[in-house]
Structure formats: C-alpha cells, structure tokens
C-alpha cells in the first residue's frame, strides 16, 4: 500500500468567506430528539471587523490533511476560521443564558456521538460533524474558543490513531500483537532489573546499617576518650599550678641560701682577721 503524503494546513493569510455558515438550515437541538429553527443573526460590518481582529491575533492548531483528502480542505479552512464573535455584541434577541443552554446541548451531542461512534467514523465524517457543530455554535453567538481548540486537537488525535491502527504510516505504526510481545519482553527485562536493584538496595542497606553501628561505637569510644581527656587536662592544670608554686619556693630558698652564704663568708673573713690580729699581738 502506498504511503500517503501529508501536509499541515495552517491559517491562510486571507480570511476565507464564512457567510455560508449562517443559514436558516441551522437548527438548535433542545432536549432529547427535539429541535427548533433558529433565526439567522444579522451580519454587520462591525461583526466582520471583530472576526478579522480575532483571527489576526490568535494562534490556531493546524489540522493534518493528507494529499488524498483534498476535498476536505474547504471544510478544514472553515474549521480553522470558525471563531465566534463576542456574545456581548450579538444582535440576536435570544437571551444569553438560553443560547448557552442550546450551545451546551450541541456540544454534548457532538461529544456523545464521538464517544459512541468515533472509532468507527472516518476522519472526513468527524471533520464534517465538527463543522456542523461549530456552525451551530457560531450562530448562537456564544464563546466556544476552548471547545474549538480541543476539537481540533481531538481530530488530529483521531487521525494519528487511525494511521496507527490501519498501518498506513509504516514509519510510525506497529502491529499491535508484535508491540504487545515486545512490551511483555520489556516488562520481563524491567522486572529482572527491578529484582537486581532490590538486592542491591538490601546489600547497600545492610552495609549502611553496619557503618552506622561502627560510627556509633566510635562515638561511644570518643565520648569515653573525651572524659579521659578532661581528667588529664585537669591533672595537667593542677600539676602546672603546683610546679609554679614549687618554682617560686625554690627561687626564694635559693635566694636565701645566697644571702646566708654571703653572710657566712663575711663572718669567716672577719674571724680570720681577728685571729690573725690576735696572733700578731702576742708577738709584740
């Protein structure tokens, strides 16, 4: 099967005509199975200017359309430009709350249809349903910008899903069964790695706890040594003080010895002089 060449359609520089979306054929669904024909709003120059301003300043999500879906381009262009004018500037006589209720019914109907049948619908049909929904919302003059952006994203997601499911994009799509087998193998490998990691965690935890125990024992020893250090420091201070006192006493005693020794030497000298003098006196 030949691969489809895709292109991304962005907003055109010039705004396409959107007057065709305002039609008496637009109907607003009210309640289950009921519908009421809506009077078309009046299109004024002010409305057109407002739409131009909105279009000029916003960023629109591109829709991917393949080369064999060229007939969808007009609808896609309309989707990209289907922004509502402000509800405050609308010229309809229907109260805003009533228009919002009708818009909620339209959006709910569109979403419910996709929830039930979206997987069976073609991209072209989904785009057509979105265009119809936007046409109705725009005719109600209610703000549906968030809804509009999410629908564009949803259409792109449906397109990617269908490409993968149908295998029309061999560079991206994978056979689901093969992908499942690959995922099972990957899960088994991941489980083995998980078991290995768990054993590593247990071993590391044991090593960590033993290290903590060693640290606690060392801390106890350090605490004991700190006590011994305090006692030794006190003994050192006491011994140092005692040595200081002893040194002072020694110095005093040494000084006393020197003083007494000097006196003793003086006495000895005086005695010798006296004895010598007495001996000479006997000779006279």
pLDDT tens by residue, 17-42: 333 333 333 333 334 333 343 343 33
pLDDT band at 149 (very low <50, low <70, confident <90, very high): confident
pLDDT of residue 180: 80
- HSE-CB at 254 with a 13 A cutoff on CA atoms is 6
pLDDT of residue 160: 82
Name 17's Cβ contacts closer than 8 Å, sequence gap at least 6. none
Better-scored residue on pLDDT, 158 or 105 = 105
Quote the percentage of the chain above a pLDDT of 90: 31
pLDDT band at 284 (very low <50, low <70, confident <90, very high): confident
What whole-number distance in Å separates Cα of residue 264 and Cα of residue 143? 127
pTM as predicted = 0.36
* Helix or strand holding residue 64 (H, E): strand 63-66
Chain segment 45-87, per-residue pLDDT in tens? 333 343 334 334 343 444 555 555 555 555 655 565 555 555 4
What whole-number distance in Å separates Cα of residue 35 and Cα of residue 229? 98
How many angstroms separate the Cα of 121 from the Cα of each of 1, 6, 136?
Answer: 21, 20, 21
């Amino acid at each position: 099967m030949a691969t489809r060449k895709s292109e991304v359609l962005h907003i055109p520089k010039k705004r396409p005509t959107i007057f065709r979306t305002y039609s008496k054929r637009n109907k607003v669904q009210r309640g289950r199975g009921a519908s009421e024909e809506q009077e078309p709003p009046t299109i004024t120059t002010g409305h057109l200017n407002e739409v131009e301003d909105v279009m000029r300043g916003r960023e629109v999500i591109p829709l991917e359309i393949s080369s064999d879906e060229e007939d969808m381009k007009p609808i896609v262009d309309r989707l990209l430009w289907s922004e509502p004018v402000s509800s405050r500037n609308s010229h309809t006589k229907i109260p805003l709350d009533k228009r919002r209720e009708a818009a909620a019914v339209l959006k709910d109907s569109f979403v419910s249809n996709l929830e039930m049948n979206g997987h069976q619908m073609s991209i072209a049909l989904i785009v057509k349903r979105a265009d119809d929904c936007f046409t109705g919302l725009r005719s109600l003059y209610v703000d549906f910008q968030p809804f509009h952006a999410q629908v564009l994203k949803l259409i792109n997601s449906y397109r990617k899903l269908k490409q993968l499911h149908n295998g029309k994009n061999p560079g991206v799509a994978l056979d689901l069964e093969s992908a499942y087998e690959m995922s099972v193998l990957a899960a088994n490998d991941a489980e083995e790695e998980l078991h290995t990691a768990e054993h590593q965690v247990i071993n590391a935890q044991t090593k960590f706890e033993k290290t903590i125990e060693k640290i606690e024992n060392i801390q106890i020893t350090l605490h004991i040594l700190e006590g011994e250090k305090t006692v030794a420091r006190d003994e050192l201070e006491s011994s140092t003080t005692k040595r200081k006192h002893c040194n002072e006493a020694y110095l005093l005693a040494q000084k006393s010895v020197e003083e007494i020794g000097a006196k003793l030497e003086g006495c000895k000298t005086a005695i010798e002089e006296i004895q010598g003098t007495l001996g000479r006196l006997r000779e006279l």
